[in-house]
Amino acid sequence: MQNEPLFAPPDYPGTTVTPDRERRLASALRAEFTNNGVGATKIWAFDYHFGDGVN
């Protein structure tokens, strides 16, 4: 959903997405995907270290 959700440097356009906000966003996206026929699409979160990622 967002690359590097914890990367928010002062001199670069980034943002911090908390785990709870990312969870809520993933839930909302899942509902939209399901309602629009793309429910099999995987949603990756915290994806900048694939070993730590969840889907």
Cα 36 to Cα 32: distance, rounded to the nearest angstrom = 6
Residue 7's identity, in one-letter code, is F
pLDDT in tens, 26-45: 999 999 999 999 988 888 77
Is residue 54 over pLDDT 60? no
DSSP state of 37: T
Which three-class secondary structure state does DSSP give residue 54?
A: strand
Determine how many CB atoms are found less than 10 A away from the CB of residue 46.
19
From the number of C-beta atoms within 10 Å of its C-beta (0-12, 13-18, 19+), residue 18 rates as exposed
Is the separation of the CB atoms in 1 and 44 below 8 Å? yes
Read off the pLDDT band of 1 (50, 70, 90).
Answer: low
pLDDT in tens, 6-15: 777 888 777 7
pLDDT at residue 3 in the model: 65
